[in-house]
Structure 1
């Protein structure tokens, strides 16, 4: 049976300001109504498979769980990486978890941040890989190239090894433009997609032969893992000693059992704004737009409005992206350098590369409205039936004003209800929590005042239901 393993890590810094470290591109809706993660699950379509397994880092765990819940996706567990260690250790964790109960499924390893527009071609390629994978080969999927792309690694395709399956002659790194054109002209090279299929046991055998340090540390990390509801928290003590290696370097370049299935499925890893423009629907003048946008005399541009009207007049080949706290304007042929802006933000110790102004939590969200030296104002939304953690602040007090809905408030040793237009005061040092007992969303304004106002001024007395 096929077990899809969906890797939902990565930061996607080249798609800033939409993609942030704490809310990267795989959790965004970029080309479809659903997010990239949700589309990856949906893409499995008619393939007979087990409930998927997911791998992500701890910071993203609630985003993954919530997006799966929105689509009523059953899953085989969510593995949390305590630290990023590239794809070879991540897949080893999944393989070890998969064989834990004596089973040995065929793993279909997919990234959560790919766009595949021809899903029938994708499904057909996967089905062609099943027999060789179940016979012991390590199968990768190579994308039939459409241009001399310098942003992808390549796979050199050898002789046929079955129907639609070929030997792998070599994996090559990202080429320069001249070499990429030579690869394209030869017809013997495929883009390296980062998608794979193999038996869980076969991957463990190969990683044991070629990089036993990864296997030893991943096995110890799984053995000392802790179960937290639907999450599996692997041991950081062991996992952090894994080499930071890709599956290509650790296994696929060294094994004698590598095969490749060519895939011609309108694939993209959406690694830049220009790549997103490529796969987006465009108007007659080559403009891809989303949100509240007005254009006049504008051509070949990508314009994305999240909150405000964007008007573009007489421009060409621009990327314009607006969010609540940042605006990007870039030449379409310079978008690879957006990462340099992210680097500047990091060096300046600013937060715009970390998260959006609106921050999502399992219970709802909070959105920063205004900030001053001794005050912060936030709009807080709590979903029906949800509750925040019971916590204490030692450097700030808070005022809560209910805008809509009903709030059940714990404030020290008191508990009471607040209705619309009512307010309450949470003094410094008081244990407090907020719950929505109603059937509609609870919205309130939170005013923080004090000497230190950041979110890390918190002592949790009791976590909310799903952990923190």
Structure 2
């Protein structure tokens, strides 16, 4: 029998553990780390097929259009996209999805999964989900436990109950959750053989989860329930009520429910999994060569061993010579060099950069928008040069600026440009000046991407110096709206 599963993908998070490739403005789930698709697209792809409904995605305001674009790229339509006003950890996000589904399907089987994990054998994972479904339909909360392959200190663990089988093909009794251990404790658990890694993946009915919150975390249920009931449609999104959401506790589903509930079971899974929680994990998943090296297209390893060399830009060629157990990651604006054993400390680097006020801590030179993207090429004290790409048929908002004027030079395609009351077409090598305070907009009326160079000059060049008057994407004010 094939059971109907509703995938719920958690798609928020700051992504600091894989800095500088993953940052708050564009976290790791949207990046291509191990293949031609992003981790988010990979997560969606392995939950498509017989027995699986369209995914329900929970994400933040700044990522909503990235989610839509990446789903469209793999020709997938979501069941719904819920917008969190701000991150409140996993418990409120999962509960919001359950309440959303429960309105029409209280017995809906929800498979809750992070969107930034790697599961190489998608068919085996889908089979494990189907095998766990009867226990979930019976009212249990099923968590997925990964067969450990090493004494990992970066994961939480699940201890099986006495008599449970860690290699079983059906859900087993769970004794307790174990926090991320010290190395000695991890070795002991690996040797014992009755511990599994906690993957943070869960299967239950919507009704089961809501009842669990009613019993163990009623305060979370009260405020999340209000946020869901007052949610407002926004284009193809459902925007949770910000006022109610502000009262929601910041708490993980493990602390809120899993460590308190008695109706728990664990589904063992041994076909391969990684949360890509650090650059050492990326090195492992990327498949090192005979010398233990992984090098991207823009990187070269000479006399290196067990080293990860990765450059994200064709303009930056990264070369390592005589390195051993080193991670070196280069982007256009930042470089990370670390011993592989210290790669879990990347969060400290991000914190240090934030303390210094460095933009590289959280933002990229490249910024993705619903109409396309822009890349900062040069930034000075009173000027900035950008490369802007506008998708076919797309348009920026009708807007003005308090502090800057702009020059636009079209280098590819055709632009329809509005400056106050004048509208005209610009083709390659043509330019236009946008005076400070002028109401303006650029559109791409063509069938191919339009590329232009923008030169900004003024006393303040921040992205929040935007006043929007009209916007086809229904964004509000602020940098991204």
- Which bracket does the TM-score occupy, shorter chain normalised? over 0.9
Measure how far apart 1:160 and its partner are.
4.4
Measure how far apart 1:182 and its partner are.
0.9
1:267 counterpart (252, 270, 273): 273
Partner of 2:120: 117
1:210 aligns with 2:213: no
Q: Is the 8 A contact 1:12 1:271 kept in 2?
A: no
Q: Is the 8 A contact 1:47 1:123 kept in 2?
A: no
Partner of 1:295: 301
TM-score, normalization: structure 2? 0.95
TM-score, normalization: structure 1? 0.98
2:109 counterpart (94, 99, 106): 106
Partner of 2:350: 342
CA distance in 1, matches of 2:51, 2:183: 40
Q: Is the 8 A contact 1:89 1:218 kept in 2?
A: yes
1:422 counterpart (415, 421, 430): 430
1:443 aligns with 2:451: yes
1:95 counterpart (98, 120, 124): 98
- For residues 248-273 of structure 1, the C-alpha deviation after alignment (integer angstroms, 9 at most, x for no partner) is 11111111110001011211101100
Partner of 1:227: 233
Give runs of aligned pairs for residues 66-465 of structure 1, distance below 5 A.
66-158=69-161, 159-160=163-164, 164-307=170-313, 308-465=316-473
User: Structure 1 residues 151, 238: closer, same or farther in 2, change over 3 A?
Assistant: same
- For residues 354-406 of structure 1, the C-alpha deviation after alignment (integer angstroms, 9 at most, x for no partner) is 22111111111111111111111101111111000010101111010111111
The alignment of Structure 1 onto Structure 2 pairs a total of residues equal to 468
CA distance in 1, matches of 2:288, 2:329: 16
2:26 counterpart (23, 29, 35): 23
CA distance in 2, matches of 1:342, 1:465: 32
CA distance in 1, matches of 2:12, 2:437: 37
Measure how far apart 1:69 and its partner are.
1.1
5+ unaligned residues in a row in structure 2: which ranges? 476-480
- For residues 263-319 of structure 1, the C-alpha deviation after alignment (integer angstroms, 9 at most, x for no partner) is 112111011000110111222111011122222111110011112211211111111
CA distance in 1, matches of 2:350, 2:430: 41
CA distance in 1, matches of 2:419, 2:150: 62
Measure how far apart 1:176 and its partner are.
0.8
Secondary structure at 1:268's aligned position in 2? Answer: coil
Q: Is the 8 A contact 1:402 1:444 kept in 2?
A: yes
CA distance in 2, matches of 1:13, 1:326: 14
Mean Cα deviation higher: 116-125 or 452-461 = 116-125
Secondary structure at 1:241's aligned position in 2? Answer: coil
Measure how far apart 1:146 and its partner are.
0.8
5+ unaligned residues in a row in structure 1: which ranges? none
Q: Is the 8 A contact 1:379 1:446 kept in 2?
A: yes
Partner of 2:65: 62
- For residues 111-169 of structure 1, the C-alpha deviation after alignment (integer angstroms, 9 at most, x for no partner) is 10101122233122111111111111110000111111111111111244996211111
Mean Cα deviation higher: 201-210 or 80-89 = 80-89
User: Structure 1 residues 133, 367: closer, same or farther in 2, change over 3 A?
Assistant: same
- For residues 315-357 of structure 1, the C-alpha deviation after alignment (integer angstroms, 9 at most, x for no partner) is 1111111111111111111111111110011111221122211
Secondary structure at 1:116's aligned position in 2? Answer: coil
- For residues 13-36 of structure 1, the C-alpha deviation after alignment (integer angstroms, 9 at most, x for no partner) is 111000010100100000111000
Secondary structure at 1:345's aligned position in 2? Answer: helix
Q: Is the 8 A contact 1:387 1:465 kept in 2?
A: no
Q: Is the 8 A contact 1:287 1:300 kept in 2?
A: yes
Secondary structure at 1:115's aligned position in 2? Answer: coil
CA distance in 1, matches of 2:473, 2:261: 45
CA distance in 2, matches of 1:234, 1:211: 19
Measure how far apart 1:466 and its partner are.
5.2
CA distance in 1, matches of 2:406, 2:245: 40
